[in-house]
Structure 1
Amino acid sequence: MMNVTQCLWFDRDMDAALRLYTSLIPGSSLDWNSALAADSPGGPAGSVRIAGFTLGGQRYMAFECGRPEGFTHASSILVECDTQEEIDRLWERLGDGGQIEQCGWLRDRWGLAWQIQPKRLRELMDGPDRAAAKRVAEAMLQMVKLDIAALEKAAKG
């Protein structure tokens, strides 16, 4: 069987980023961390850092060796939360030093894009009542941090 692993490329502070990410998401761990032992286009031997980590049960690899291109919204991490308290906690910690965006999106201080959403959002938007789904989508599009109670209220009309 083949393994599929997401890769993230940091220009700086990879260790701090991975410590934060793995401390916030249950089912996460820093699995290994090393330095590339050979000279590479990213720098001399030992200057390029590589780490493997698990985030919410999904495998990732990270590099720290400067960043030829920044993170974009084309690749983001979506975290579905059960409660508003989880949303609030992730929003505060990941948004610290970063950039808060619309519709449950934020960028952390390393520039990585995150979508912090309630699991309930998908249920409300995929439900059989299409008028309720439209109201929920319209409410979500007006929010910055997503609010479960407000989404539920929009669904009810």
Structure 2
Amino acid sequence: MPTLKHKITPHLWYDKEAREAAEFYVSIFPNSKITNITTLHNTPSGDSDIVSFKLAGQPFMAISAGPLFKFNEAISFIVYCETQKEIDYYWKKLSAVPEAEQCGWCKDKYGLSWQIVPTLMDKMMAKGTPEQIDRLTQTFLPMKKLEIAALKKAYKEQQKNKKRGANK
């Protein structure tokens, strides 16, 4: 039996587009590829493709098995980004439903939800004071695509205010 590097693999259900979606995703993310496609014949929903693929090294599977289930916002995938350029790139590639955009969340053309998040945000949330975290939250809540410069400014503003108060 082969040793599995990842014990958990997301499995995505598509009506008919599993292969197309996998090809779309691997074209966007580096270190990505389709690793296997198996077609099951004579299933209750007709011929079904099962597609194994990797996105940024993370294994995924997808199936084309009919219109029984749809994606919703209860499940999303987070894409961590180091720079605004990276955020802009993934946002442009993945966001296809403008009305679904909120707080760094977007929805792709297949209905799958993504969160495009700067890595810096997790660091600020983990190390910030309650005031800094509140300021950061009030800044990102009205945003659609997250803007690193605005998030940094909101976070640092608290530090400036503290220094001013100490100098009085």
Of stretches 2-11 and 69-78 in structure 1, the one that deviates more from structure 2 is: 2-11
Of stretches 102-111 and 60-69 in structure 1, the one that deviates more from structure 2 is: 60-69
Q: What amino acid is aligned across from residue 42 of structure 1 in structure 2? A: S
Show structure 1 runs of 4+ deviating over 6 A: none
Normalized per residue, the structure richer in helix is: 2
Hey, what does 1:33 align to over in structure 2?
Answer: 37
Distance 1:48 1:13 in 2: 10
Distance 1:114 1:70 in 2: 15
Of stretches 12-21 and 112-121 in structure 1, the one that deviates more from structure 2 is: 12-21
1:117-146 Cα shifts (integer Å, max 9, x gaps): 111111111114221111111111110000
Normalising by structure 1, report the TM-score: 0.89
Distance 1:10 1:107 in 2: 15
Hey, what does 1:120 align to over in structure 2?
Answer: 120
Normalising by structure 2, report the TM-score: 0.84
Distance 1:64 1:140 in 2: 36
Of stretches 118-127 and 98-107 in structure 1, the one that deviates more from structure 2 is: 98-107
Q: Indicate the SS of the match to 2:43.
A: coil
Q: Is the 8 A contact 2:45 2:66 kept in 1?
A: yes
**Highest Rg: 1 or 2?**
2
Equivalent residue pairs, number: 152
Q: Is the 8 A contact 1:125 1:137 kept in 2?
A: no
Hey, what does 1:140 align to over in structure 2?
Answer: 140
Hey, what does 1:154 align to over in structure 2?
Answer: 154
Hey, what does 1:9 align to over in structure 2?
Answer: 13
